[in-house]
Each structure stands twice: as C-alpha cells, then as structure tokens.
C-alpha cells in the first residue's frame, strides 16, 4: 500500500521493495491509492481484500 501523493516516502521505494520480494520468489502485491498521501493505511485497513490476502499468504513454517 502506498499513497501516490506521499510526500515523505517516494512510491518508487515501495515498487522497488515489491519487485525485490517477487524476484526472490515471494508473493508481494502493491496497491497505490491515487489520492492518498503518507496515510495510506487508513484506506488499506478499510479494504476487506487486505484481510483475505493476509489469510492467503501466511508462512506455515513460522507457526510453531
């Protein structure tokens, strides 16, 4: 998640991070909210898709 109008962290940083995860075989997804600034989490937590994505992307080896 990233706000397209974020004036603290450039959206390119999130794109770079997601690409690095994918290059290593991970499953990352980036949502860019066109009107959001640095507070992109409010819109994210109001989106029910994030919770489904989290449940689908757990690490079974981390559960002990």
Q: What string of H, E and C letters represents the secondary structure of the chain?
A: CEECCCCCCCHHHHHHHHHHHHHCCCCCCCCEECCCCCCCHHHHHCCHHHHHHHHHCCCHHHCC
Identify the pLDDT of residue 56: 83
Residue 52 lies in a domain: yes
User: 31, exposed or middle or buried, with CB in 10 Å at 0-12, 13-18, 19+?
Assistant: middle
Residue 34 lies in a domain: yes
- Work out the pLDDT band at 58, boundaries 50, 70, 90: confident
User: Of 20, 23, 43, whose CA–CA distance to 31 is shortest?
Assistant: 43
Residue 55 lies in a domain: yes
Q: Which domain range does residue 34 map to?
A: 2-59
| Number of independent structural domains in the chain | 1
Mean local confidence (pLDDT), 43-62: 84
Residue 49 lies in a domain: yes
Residue 64 lies in a domain: no
Identify the pLDDT of residue 63: 61
pTM above 0.85, yes or no: no
- Work out the pLDDT band at 4, boundaries 50, 70, 90: very high
Residue 32 lies in a domain: yes
Residue 13 lies in a domain: yes
Residue 10 lies in a domain: yes
């Amino acid at each position: 998640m990233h706000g397209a109008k974020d004036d603290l962290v450039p959206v390119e940083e999130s794109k770079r991070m997601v690409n690095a995860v994918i290059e290593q075989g991970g499953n990352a997804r980036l949502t860019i909210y066109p009107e959001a600034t640095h507070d992109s989490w409010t819109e994210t937590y109001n989106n029910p898709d994030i919770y489904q994505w989290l449940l689908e992307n757990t690490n079974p080896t981390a559960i002990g």
